[in-house]
A and B are shown apart, each in its own frame.
Chain A
Amino acid sequence: MRVLVIEDDQETATFLKRALKESGHVAEYAGDGQSGLDLARANAYDVLIVDRMLPKCDGLTVIGALRAEEISTPALILSALGEVDDRVKGLRAGGDYYLTKPYAFSELLARIEALARRKSPEEGNTRFQVGDLVLDRLSHKVTRAGEAIMLQPREFRLLEYLMKHAGQVVTRTMLLENVWDYHFDPQTNVIDVHISRLRSKIDKNFGNALLHTVRGAGYTIRDSAH
């Protein structure tokens, strides 16, 4: 994945570049809004990481300019301003996700991978399959190795989201936002308990586990046999 980081803080930029490289991505860097805009126009990136406060031309303007030119590269906005109205402003300007500083790198990575994937055709799929686990979005049926699994509506949506992002790391915040539509901190490890319930239904009586915990980051569903 080719990522452009537009960030004026040198240290943050260096950290992001190195961490992205270690995660197997190619990262380029621009130190201000104007050069970031030039780079984003000139090259085809999979994802942009844009800091909101930038010299010369602020982050929202950069994204607005790109959208006006119909360059729809997914953009993740980084900002210290984290209130709901700031988020709304960011998304209205054409940003695809808004991440508040300070953030965990694992969260950022999971987000940009999800954003890059959003363009893929899988979005419209009516049927997801991971190993021998099959989820049918139309009939709301889940089977593993041909055996029907009964899920509560919420569990179904949880599994649906995980399978839509199969092979990717999905963070707890992503689950809370996309499955429950909550944008607040639930204090306790509520998501973990829901995951462990789901796990007991889809993994417990079968040989290989599909739903994995990624330490310090979140969860992923993948067929480890491959």
Chain B
Amino acid sequence: MTALTKLFRTTTFRLSLTYLALFSAAAIVAIAYIYWHTTVLLSQQLSQTIDAELKGLAEQYRAGGLEQLVRTVAERSGTPGNSLYLVADSEGRRLAGNLSAVTPDLWNSLGPVEFVYRRPAPGGVENRLAFANVFRLPSGYRLIVGRDIEDRRELARLVRQAMLWGLGVMALFGIGGGYWVSRKLLTRIDTLAATTRTIMEGDLGRRLPVTGSGDELDRLSDSLNLMLSRIEQLMAGLREVSDNIAHDLKTPLNRLRNRVEGALREPYGEPVYREALERTIEEADGLIKTFNALLSIARIEAGAGGENRESLDVSALLRDVAELYEPVAEERGLELKTEVEAPIFIRADRQLIGQAIANLIDNAIKYGTAATEKGKAASPEITVSARAEGATAEIVVTDRGPGVPLSERERVLDRFVRLEASRSEPGSGLGLSLVAAVARLHGGKLKLEDNAPGLRVILALPVDGEALVNGAARQAPSGAEIRTA
């Protein structure tokens, strides 16, 4: 595609052409209308004047007979101007007037008529357009009064010419302007396209140029640049995750391999083999768990699980999950307290929210003991509570453990991040990542705060608006009571 055809194909250029055509049509209509109207007006005026003069001459004729008429016409013909007169007998012979040869056509016609007559001119004779009224005198004589209207023909010619010139200039400006604007736009689009191609080829750091004029292309470039930044960030995240996965999955795999190899190295006998195999299965199970957790997080982050949402009472679910963990906490010498008020409804996937709450309580149990072991005064308790804060349901899990330092609170939500102090506990470093992903999927947030001492984790989720409305209706005193078993 040549540069020119490319230019002609641009929307801007086509738009310019369309507008050019529309404006030309409008101009033609306007000028034609004015011209036509003017002509009609002039003709009317002309025939009125001629009629008046004809009437005057007829008076003369009635008063003074043919003689006076001939005299008056001869007199008037003498004065210079564009008035035309003729008095002739029934054979067409001229008695007076400045109109010479008259065709029989004109002669025989009656009333207003338009015709061409000859007039002596500096270079000979010229044909000119005239308008006249033919009046038949009682004696068979003819009186013709008219005006030279060659000027009007000239006017029509001028108007036509002006129209053509005007349209020509308009077309020139239109096409030229369209070309210029399209060229300008095309150059910018070409730059954008070229930059995009470089980015696609792998130069993710490149950004689209912004001229600073704040026009629509600038705004588009700005949005695209933001998108590119987000993509770059995601890519970096992905790279980090793959590095982490490589590390956190390869380490246990290596351990597993070493164990099997070690067992095989010498003929130790069945008990040793059996033990090695059992440990291998344990290790494999751990790997499968990590793998499943990773897949779940990836699926949740990709937006899966949204289709299984239902309206559920988060208070009841919280009580339920807390009950599941209560014996475990007790076994570890921790007191698990559940503070749940009225039902709070959210629209969520029960299994995902359940898993999130389970992860939070599990973390609290795993890490909530550390401070007490060091002999601190804090009582070894874990509290689990749910409350509605406006349109937000807050699930709060607190412990009295060592907490998470402020600088690490963002980072522990990332995959595979485990604090040094927690390395002794079994775990994959995926628990909080999963909770954060679940929160994001449901349009909520996960916040870590200082429980002084310990950690307070808040899982904030939007309340189910529909249930809120229904709930309010149910509480209204006038509403019909619905009893449920």
Chain B nearest CB from A87 CB (Å) reads 10
A88 vs B351: C-alpha distance when bound (angstroms): 13
Tell me if A180 counts as interface (CB < 8 A to partner B): yes
A82 vs B359: C-alpha distance when bound (angstroms): 20
A193 partner, pick from B281, B328, B349, B355, beta carbons under 8 A: B328
B324 partner, pick from A102, A185, A186, beta carbons under 8 A: A186
Residues from 440 to 454 in B contacting A, C-beta threshold 8 Å: none
Interchain CB contact under 8 A, A82 and B327: no
Say whether, besides A85-B308, A216-B281, A194 and B327 are in contact (CB < 8 Å): yes
Q: How many A-B residue pairs have CB under 8 A?
A: 61
A148 vs B351: C-alpha distance when bound (angstroms): 36
Question: Is chain A's binding surface mostly helix, strand, loop or mixed?
Answer: loop
Interchain CB contact under 8 A, B327 and A187: no
A83 vs B278: C-alpha distance when bound (angstroms): 28
Of the listed stretches B59-67, B180-188, B288-296, name the one at the interface; the rest are far from the partner chain.
B288-296
Residues of A within 8 A of B324 (CB): 180, 182, 186, 190, 194
Residues of A within 8 A of B285 (CB): 104
Chain A nearest CB from B299 CB (Å) reads 6
Interchain CB contact under 8 A, A187 and B288: no
Tell me if B343 counts as interface (CB < 8 A to partner A): no
Say whether, besides A184-B351, A189-B328, A216-B281, A82 and B358 are in contact (CB < 8 Å): no
Task: Write the B189-225 contact mask toward A (1 if CB under 8 angstroms, else 0).
Answer: 0000000000000000000000000000000000000
Say whether, besides A84-B308, A85-B304, A193-B327, A187 and B362 are in contact (CB < 8 Å): yes
Residues of A within 8 A of B331 (CB): 193
Chain B nearest CB from A158 CB (Å) reads 11
Tell me if B365 counts as interface (CB < 8 A to partner A): yes
Residues of A within 8 A of B114 (CB): none
Tell me if B320 counts as interface (CB < 8 A to partner A): yes
Tell me if A183 counts as interface (CB < 8 A to partner B): yes
Residues from 282 to 316 in B contacting A, C-beta threshold 8 Å: 284-285, 288-289, 292-293, 295, 299, 304-305, 307-308
Tell me if A139 counts as interface (CB < 8 A to partner B): no
Interchain CB contact under 8 A, B281 and A180: no
Interchain CB contact under 8 A, A186 and B288: no
Chain A nearest CB from B93 CB (Å) reads 113
Tell me if A197 counts as interface (CB < 8 A to partner B): yes
B351 partner, pick from A84, A102, A189, beta carbons under 8 A: A84
Nearest B residue to A185, CB-CB = B289
Interface residues on B, range: 20 to 34
Nearest A residue to B282, CB-CB = A216
Tell me if B325 counts as interface (CB < 8 A to partner A): yes
Nearest B residue to A195, CB-CB = B327
Residues of A within 8 A of B427 (CB): 187
A85 vs B304: C-alpha distance when bound (angstroms): 9
Say whether, besides A104-B285, A184-B354, A185-B289, A190 and B308 are in contact (CB < 8 Å): no
Residues of B within 8 A of A216 (CB): 278, 281
Interface size in chain A (residues, C-beta < 8 A): 22
Chain A nearest CB from B404 CB (Å) reads 18
Chain A nearest CB from B308 CB (Å) reads 6
Say whether, besides A180-B320, A184-B354, A185-B293, A190 and B328 are in contact (CB < 8 Å): yes
Residues of A within 8 A of B278 (CB): 216
Task: Write the B340-368 contact mask toward A (1 if CB under 8 angstroms, else 0).
Answer: 00000000010100110011001001100
Chain B nearest CB from A218 CB (Å) reads 14
Tell me if A92 counts as interface (CB < 8 A to partner B): no
Residues of B within 8 A of A84 (CB): 305, 308, 349, 351
Nearest B residue to A198, CB-CB = B327
B292 partner, pick from A154, A185, A190, A194, beta carbons under 8 A: A185
Nearest B residue to A176, CB-CB = B324
A188 vs B295: C-alpha distance when bound (angstroms): 19
Chain B nearest CB from A171 CB (Å) reads 13
A193 vs B349: C-alpha distance when bound (angstroms): 27
Chain A nearest CB from B407 CB (Å) reads 26
Residues from 79 to 94 in A contacting B, C-beta threshold 8 Å: 82-85, 88
A185 vs B362: C-alpha distance when bound (angstroms): 11
Tell me if B97 counts as interface (CB < 8 A to partner A): no
Chain B nearest CB from A82 CB (Å) reads 7
Residues of A within 8 A of B351 (CB): 84, 182-184
A193 vs B327: C-alpha distance when bound (angstroms): 6
A82 vs B323: C-alpha distance when bound (angstroms): 27
Tell me if B431 counts as interface (CB < 8 A to partner A): yes
A84 vs B358: C-alpha distance when bound (angstroms): 18
Residues from 25 to 50 in A contacting B, C-beta threshold 8 Å: none
Task: Write the A163-192 contact mask toward B (1 if CB under 8 angstroms, else 0).
Answer: 000000000000000001011111111100
Residues of B within 8 A of A88 (CB): 308
Residues from 102 to 153 in A contacting B, C-beta threshold 8 Å: 102, 104
Say whether, besides A180-B320, A193-B331, A186 and B281 are in contact (CB < 8 Å): no
Task: Write the B354-392 contact mask toward A (1 if CB under 8 angstroms, else 0).
Answer: 110011001001100000000000000000000000000
Interchain CB contact under 8 A, A83 and B304: yes
Nearest B residue to A187, CB-CB = B362
A185 vs B427: C-alpha distance when bound (angstroms): 12
Of the listed residues B278, B285, B323, the one surrounded by the most CB atoms of chain A closer than 10 A to its CB is B323
Interchain CB contact under 8 A, A182 and B362: no
Say whether, besides A84-B305, A84-B308, A102-B288, A197 and B358 are in contact (CB < 8 Å): no
Interface set of A (CB-CB < 8 Å, partner B):
82-85, 88, 102, 104, 154, 180, 182-190, 193-194, 197, 216
Interface set of B (CB-CB < 8 Å, partner A):
278, 281, 284-285, 288-289, 292-293, 295, 299, 304-305, 307-308, 320, 323-325, 327-328, 331, 349, 351, 354-355, 358-359, 362, 365-366, 427, 431
Other than the given A186-B358, A187-B427, A197-B327, 15 more pairs (CB < 8 A) read: A83-B299, A83-B304, A84-B305, A84-B349, A84-B351, A102-B284, A102-B288, A184-B355, A185-B292, A185-B355, A187-B362, A194-B324, A194-B327, A216-B278, A216-B281
Can you list 5 A-B pairs, Cβ within 8 angstroms, ordered by A? A84-B308, A104-B281, A154-B323, A185-B289, A193-B328
